[in-house]
Chains A and B, each alone.
Chain A
Amino acid sequence: MEPEYALLTIGVALILGKIGDHIIERFELPGVLGEIFIGMLLGNLIFFGILPNSALILHDETFEFLAKIGIIFLLFLGGLDTEVEMVKKTGVVATVSTIGGVFVPLILGYITGFYLLKFSSREAFTMGVLLTATSIGITVRVMMDLGVLRSEVGAASLSASIMDDFLGIALIIFAVGSGSVLELGEKIALFFFITGIIAWYAIDKYVKFAEWLRVEMGVLALSIGLMFIFSALAEKWFQAAIEGAFMSGLVLSKLPEGKRVMEEVRSIGYGLFIPLFFVYVGAQLDLRVFTHGDAIKLATIITLLAILGKVLGRGIFARLAGWDWRKSIQMGIGSIPRLEVALVAVMVAIHGGAIPKAHAQYFMAATLVFVTVTTLITPPLLKLAFKSEIEAMKKQKVEKRKIAIEESKQRISEVKK
């Protein structure tokens, strides 16, 4: 690998990735998709021989390593941004429907993978895990546009999505972790004891120590250092560094001082490593895979499961918890989109060996198809689901305006008299 080409690749990936991000954002869709499409374009220019392999090192170890750092930053930010207080306030319906929304797609994915597609147990489980975490971004945006974000369904969807992410990320351990269930259980218990309990109580002292050091950006450096150490531990035990990154962010989110470093972490993450990860994801997909019937079959099945699993899982469980059908379905539809965590999970699963190399391209293709489809169909479905609420709100506004006009008319006539 020539260093000048590595530098060139980083530069091109960042500039074009952000341009792709901008274009997609103009359509009010998650800009991440733009970064992925740019990666897909660049990667396939190489796969199709239009660009020489040496021109851009998108399929090289160096770029892969930078992309992995991007995943770590992404999950660290996810942990830092988590409002633990909000999770604590989650109501019964949101909790119950989250459980349904995670485990129904997981079970559906597993059964379909194992019995229908004849995958190994581990691969089928991984397929289920890919379907678990919701990407709330697009739902938030649409609900905001519709004016229903602060409704009961909106509030429950938000808190449910936090738990959703947490469960989805935790389940990746079982997909990629090796050893017997007992061994894995011991490791998980020890990992959460170290990164959760001990760190939760010791983090105040750690941050105080970082403040005490008379160095430039001490708190930021020590926070990022903690992120990498936790990631290393998780990588060693579960082949899933993301677990450590997420936990370190979660622990730091407890302190206002920890939250304060978020801006700087975001600058490093979203300004460098995270776009590289999304470009890398896109670049890994060889579009020729769609000439294989198996890839199309997997993409179709997984997309259907992604939609049905969430709508049924969250919807039915919300109904069981006491909501009416209308609200339950709204809740289910709001949880359809998948994005970042699904992409992270598929990459971790491929690198961790949970998905065999022979199926890696199929899974990449299927994941990119289902994240795109679920993101695209959610806005119109949500508008349809909230149609009566929107009409009621419009009527209310018209009524209010009528009353205001009448009042003004009355005042004018009184003044004239």
Chain B
Amino acid sequence: MKDFERALQTFHSLRVKQIMPSILNMPIADKNTPLIDIFKILRTRHHVWVVNNKKDMKPIGFIRYRNIIDFLLPPGSHMARFGKISDVFKSILGGAETAKDIMDKNFLTIDENATVLEALEKMKKYKVQILAITKDGRLVGEISLRLLVNELLRLMRVGGAEWSQSTHSSQSE
């Protein structure tokens, strides 16, 4: 249990930039990417980042599994009401054709120097599972719960042996 606590402490103080994947491994699409290509990415990934264009990499939105609900539902299932209109536009039957038509513009960002603890707190506060990491307005990485769990497991695997050794040696002393 102590090993776990130690791993967790180290884990919390890690910087998100130490964990974030390479930008090349991230699911990123241009705003004009056809929806069919977005579907193909979503077969294996949980989300897609949408950028203005792949040159300047300015993030403008993201598409999650949750957004699929909006664009797959028939028009009758959308209740277009005052204060509830914006979701309706994302329906595929409403004419959505490209990534920009269905993306969620309200993605949350975090600084690359923020800690894992800060990222977790932000995720909890806004009930999101993924944050964009930006630098000077460019998308440079992402931090998701999946990545955090992987990192924690890696830390326990790698650090576990060292910590048990140090615990044994301090006991023998």
Q: A residues touching B (Cβ–Cβ < 8 Å)?
A: 25, 28, 30-32, 74-78, 80-81, 83, 85, 135-138, 140-141, 144-145, 147, 149-150, 154, 158, 165, 211, 218-219, 256-257, 259-260, 263, 266, 269-270, 339-341
Q: What residues on B are CB-neighbors of A219 within 8 Å? A: 125-126
Residue of B whose beta carbon sits closest to that of A343: B82
Known contacts A144-B94, A145-B75; A211 and B125 CB within 8 A of each other? yes
B95: Cβ under 8 A from any A Cβ: yes
The 9 listed contacts between A and B (C-beta, < 8 Å) are: A144-B88, A149-B94, A150-B97, A211-B122, A257-B126, A259-B106, A260-B108, A260-B126, A266-B84
Q: B107 contacts the other chain (Cβ, under 8 Å)?
A: yes
Given A147-B95, A150-B95, A218-B125, does the pair A137, B105 have CB atoms closer than 8 Å?
no
CB distance from A5 to the nearest CB of B (A): 30
List the A side residues contacting B97 at CB < 8 Å: 150
The answer to whether A77 touches B84, judged by C-beta atoms less than 8 angstroms apart, is yes
**Once bound together, how far apart are the Cα atoms of A339 and B80, in whole Å?**
12
Q: Please tell me if the beta carbons of A77 and B83 are within 8 angstroms of each other in the complex.
A: yes
Given contacts A25-B79, A150-B95, A219-B125, contact A137 B85 (CB under 8 A): yes
B126 proximity list for chain A (CB < 8 A): 219, 257, 260
**Which residues of A are found within 8 Å of B85, using beta-carbon distances?**
81, 136-137, 140
> Contact at B106–A28, with CB atoms within 8 Å?
no
B72 to chain A, nearest CB (A): 14
Given A211-B122, A256-B105, A260-B126: A144 touches B93 (CB 8 Å cut-off): yes
Judge if B163 is at the interface, Cβ distance under 8 Å: no
Are B82 and A135 in contact, with the CB atoms below 8 A? yes
Contact A78 B108 (CB under 8 A): no
Closest A residue by C-beta to B75: A144
The answer to whether B114 has its CB under 8 Å from any CB of chain A is no
A149 to B84 CA separation, bound complex (whole angstroms): 17
Query: Which partner residue on chain A sits nearest B108 by CB separation?
Result: A256
CA distance A160 to B91 in the complex (A): 20
Contact B80 A136 (CB under 8 A): yes
**Residue in B75, B79, B109, B128 whose beta carbon sits within 8 Å of that of A260 in the complex:** B128
User: Count the B residues whose beta carbon is within 8 Å of the partner chain — how many?
Assistant: 29
What distance in Å separates the Cβ of A88 from its nearest Cβ neighbour in chain B? 13
Other-chain contact of B83, A81, A154, A260, A339 (Cβ < 8 Å):
A81
CA distance A141 to B93 in the complex (A): 10
Nearest CB in chain A to that of B60: its residue: A85
**Bound form: Cα–Cα A219–B127 in Å:** 12
Chain A residues with CB below 8 A from B75, complex form:
141, 144-145
Across the A-B interface, the 5 shortest Cβ-Cβ residue pairs: A77-B83, A150-B95, A137-B80, A144-B75, A259-B106
Interchain CB contact under 8 A, A78 and B125: no
The answer for the CA separation of A270 and B82 in the assembled complex, in Å, is 11
What's the least CB distance linking B142 to chain A, in Å?
15
Residues on B with C-beta less than 8 A from A76 are 83
Partner of B84, one of A81, A158, A341: A81
B84 touching A144, Cβ below 8 Å: no
Instruction: Write the nearest CB–CB distance from A84 to chain B, whole angstroms.
Output: 11
Most buried by A among B80, B81, B85, B128: B81
Interface flag for B89 (CB, 8 Å): yes
B86: interface (CB < 8 Å): yes
Q: How far is the CA of A201 from the CA of B94 in the complex (A)?
A: 35
In the bound complex, residues from chain A placing their C-beta under 8 Å from that of B89 are 149, 158
Give Cα A135–Cα B82 distance, bound, in whole angstroms: 7
Scoring B75, B83, B91, B96 by chain A CB atoms within 10 A of each residue's CB, the highest score goes to B83
A32 surroundings in chain B (CB, below 8 A): 81
Complex Cα gap A135–B122 (Å)? 36
CB distance from A94 to the nearest CB of B (A): 15
Give the contacts of B55-110 with A (CB-CB under 8 A). 75-76, 78-86, 88-89, 91, 93-97, 105-109
Question: B86 is contacted by which of A74, A81, A339, A341 (Cβ under 8 Å)?
Answer: A81
Instruction: Report the bound CA distance from A135 to B84 in whole Å.
Output: 12
Given A137-B81, A266-B83, also A260-B106 (CB < 8 A): yes
Give Cα distance in the complex from A136 to B86, angstroms.
Answer: 11
**Measured CA separation A158–B89 after assembly (Å):** 10
How far apart are the CA atoms of A81 and B106 in the complex, in Å? 11
- Contact between A149 and B95, CB atoms less than 8 A apart: yes
Point out which of A30, A32, A147, A259 has the most chain B C-beta atoms below 10 A from its C-beta.
A259
The answer for the CA separation of A76 and B79 in the assembled complex, in Å, is: 18
Known pairs A138-B80, A256-B105 / 14 extra A-B pairs, C-beta < 8 Å: A25-B79, A75-B83, A76-B83, A77-B84, A135-B82, A140-B94, A144-B88, A149-B89, A150-B94, A150-B97, A256-B107, A256-B108, A260-B108, A270-B81
Q: How far is the CA of A185 from the CA of B83 in the complex (A)?
A: 28
